[in-house]
Amino acid sequence: MYLYPLIISALAVMNPFLGLILMLGYCAKALGICLSNPVRALMMFFPLPIAMLMLDRNPGSQIMAFDALFAVGIVSLIFLYKLKQNASFSDAFLYAVITLLGYGALRTWLFGAYQEQVFTQGLETIRTQFPSMVQNVMLQGTLPIWKALLPAVWVVTQSMGLYLGYLLFGKLLKLPSQISTLRFPGLYNMLIIAILPLYLFEQTKMLFINALLAMCVVPFIQGTTVVSQRLSLVFANKIVHGVFMAIIILYAHILLVLMGFADMWLNKRNEIPGGITA
């Protein structure tokens, strides 16, 4: 089983999103050793990214190694340690998300300038090869926004990878109602409220927007959970349920965030009859 973390580490260096999903799948398959000794279970994951940090000083290689090390390895360890401490699956997931938020801030501080440089170089390449695409008025207006939101985009993407990995983790363990039983404490909302003063100052306004978007992943998942629970009471067919959920996620994501925020704050959601609390 120790070979799998090594293989996953090589993949995580290239794609931390997929690496995190597969890592949580491995944790489910080797749950016994992962809970008894998380470090021992995942120790073969760390040599490759650590070696990259020590041997390759190229900023691109450094950020790839950091992403694998922290956004996959450390996040998975936090998730396992919380489960080992008999935390609920929801709490373990929440601590993993908070770890991602913290690393996202560190990542921006260390590599923010490099990320903007890579984005600009990529844009120049597109402008050279596909000039008609870059001349599009709508694209011209959105490119500066995407550049400014690079930190939040990365954190949101990796957090959704964590969520998919969590669902895979539950599926492999045959845990019932993993989506409908996710519940996060209202105390998390206080973290969102705490960053509101950043919006008052022009120098920190973009920092506030990035932090807000990244932190809204948790209420978004909570809102998705609430809607999924309610729809399952109306539509017994899983295909119909899935189609409606896809439409709601695509076109009502802001509403889902608000519903999740309110549900966490009020903490009055009832579970589906026959379900279990995560």
pLDDT of residue 131: 65
Instruction: In whole angstroms, give the CA distance from residue 46 to residue 60.
Output: 18
CB atoms within 10 A of CB 2: 13
pTM given for the model: 0.88
**Total count of residues recorded for the chain:** 278
Cα four-point dihedral sign 249, 254, 259, 261: positive
Instruction: In whole angstroms, give the CA distance from residue 87 to residue 106.
Output: 26
CB atoms within 10 A of CB 114: 13
pLDDT of residue 270: 44
Would you kindly state where each structural domain of the chain is located, as residue ranges?
1-175, 176-278
pLDDT of residue 133: 59
Helical packing angle, 205-215 and 89-129, nearest 10°: 120
62: tokens are 């450094």
Phi, psi of 6 (to 5 degrees): -65, -45
Residue by residue, pLDDT tens for the chain (278 residues) are: 678 999 999 999 999 999 999 999 999 999 889 999 999 999 999 999 999 999 988 998 999 999 999 999 999 999 999 999 988 888 999 999 999 999 999 999 999 888 888 888 877 777 777 666 556 545 566 777 888 889 999 999 999 999 999 999 988 988 776 666 678 888 898 998 999 999 888 888 999 999 999 999 999 999 988 888 888 888 777 888 888 888 888 888 889 999 999 988 886 544 443 333 33
pLDDT of residue 136: 59
Q: Determine contact, residues 46/101, Cβ cutoff 8 Å.
A: no
Identify the three-state secondary structure at position 270: coil
pLDDT of residue 109: 92
271: tokens are 């579970």
- Whole-angstrom CA distances from 131 to 140, 141, 144, 145 are 12, 15, 17, 20
Q: Which residues, other chains included, contact 145 with Cβ-Cβ below 8 Å and sequence gap of 6+?
A: none
Q: Which residues, other chains included, contact 71 with Cβ-Cβ below 8 Å and sequence gap of 6+?
A: 16, 20, 100, 103, 158
Instruction: In whole angstroms, give the CA distance from residue 2 to residue 182.
Output: 30
| Owner of token pair 């919380």 | 82
At residue 68's C-alpha, the angle toward residues 63 and 71, to 5°, is 95
pLDDT of residue 238: 80
pLDDT of residue 210: 94
